Amino acid sequence: MFLSKEQEKMLNGAYGSAIAKCMELVVKIGDVYGAESLVPVESTQIAGVSYFTVGDAIFSFFKMLMKDNIQVKVPSWLNPAGMDLKRWKEMGITADFADKQFQILDNYEKLGIKPTLTCTPYLIGYQPKYKSHLAWSESSAVIMANGYYGARTNREGGPSSLASALTGFTAKYGMHIRENRYPQLKIKVKTDMIDLVDFSILGYWFGEKYKDKIPIFEGIRELDLEHAKLLSSAMAASGSVPLFHVRDITPEAKNGQFEKYMETIEFTLNEKKEVQQQFTSNKRKIDLVVIGCPHASKRELEMIANSLEKKEIKDDINLWIFTSKKILDETRSENIISKIERSGGEVYVDTCMVVCPVIKEKHSIIATNSAKAAFYLSKGENRSKILLLSLPEIFSVITKCE
């Protein structure tokens, strides 16, 4: 692999052993995938934050990095942690868990990374630029960056995105190369796409069936950020799709340059039903509803608050919504959060339904509008415990009759 003089110096230890180890990791990954060079990154997004998912192993990695006094070289964002940093006791998190979680965040802060704790950095002030190179690791954020914004990132692991944050480089292969970003399958959407859950179902169906293929969707007339968020997170969960295009809408599909022959597949009401049938249960027994996978936007919170206005959630059902601290602060001042809380809902930040340890432990029948959340919450469990529903369906079941 070609390395610049500066990159050679990093690798050879001129900036200390921690930077050398990080560079070694970046170069090794590049070697495995046949990269010819490295590319500077504009930002990184780092998974591997929740103590629930990383355990104690992360502390030896931090110990190695802390040998030298190093700081990240580019803006870097942390994925959700295992708990709301303020309301962890209310969530039922133990003091031992909280202690370990705070230690992890302290270590990241020493490296210069603020605890943004969200999978949606693009909602809190960082929208990736078209064609910019990134090293992001949260799968839903990776596919949004590639598909919705037209930026370029592979799906990094937690350690490799951190290595990129500390060196400023990633290996140039995969999604960083234009020729690898062409669509491989044309999907004609032939059913109504009305609710957010419809986009989640389409994404789930595609990922489950076609794994890591790159689709171009036709027949989607409107794709706002919330649609794209649900569509892409589902594709990256049931499969490992790194990028999607929507004809005439997403940046790389705006000029219709993908006219070459491609196999065409239809997504109809039948395919939609196939996915819905995987997540069915007894609606009357729901004891928890989780919304905000990926983290809820201000618009979603507004939508939820309006739907719940003057309604009350049934006493034996919890509604937990997940978002980032920044979105919470913005919406709290506009009374959106108080409307949700008045109805009996809770809005948690810094964490989510998948990386927080108490969700499955404490609840039996869980409903959500996110196929990604449904996929992870049903892992290793009886699928019938998880329901995938639209927001109107959810609210009609969980609120008291007026």
Which residues are near ligand F3S by CB under 6 A?
A: 79-80, 119, 138, 140, 233, 293-295, 322, 352, 354-355, 372-373, 376
Residue number, 30 or 80, with CB nearest to ligand F3S: 80
Residue 104 CA: distances (Å) to CA of 18, 70, 99, 187, 250: 18, 16, 9, 42, 37
Comparing C-alpha atoms, which of 140, 154, 150, 151 is closest to residue 246?
Answer: 150
Give min distance, CB of 47 to ligand F3S, in A: 8
Residue number, 19 or 356, with CB nearest to ligand F3S: 356
Residue number, 286 or 374, with CB nearest to ligand F3S: 374
Residue number, 138 or 271, with CB nearest to ligand F3S: 138
Give min distance, CB of 307 to ligand F3S, in A: 20
Residue number, 82 or 168, with CB nearest to ligand F3S: 82
In angstroms, the CA 159 to CA 81 distance is 16
Comparing C-alpha atoms, which of 397, 235, 206, 217 is closest to residue 307?
Answer: 397
Burial 81-114 (b: 16+ CB within 10 A, else e): bbbbbeebeebebeeebbebbbebbebbeebebe
Give min distance, CB of 310 to ligand F3S, in A: 29
Give min distance, CB of 166 to ligand F3S, in A: 22
Residue number, 314 or 383, with CB nearest to ligand F3S: 383
Give min distance, CB of 86 to ligand F3S, in A: 18
213, two tokens: 């293929």
In angstroms, the CA 89 to CA 326 distance is 21
Give min distance, CB of 297 to ligand F3S, in A: 12
24, two tokens: 């070694």
In angstroms, the CA 54 to CA 182 distance is 34
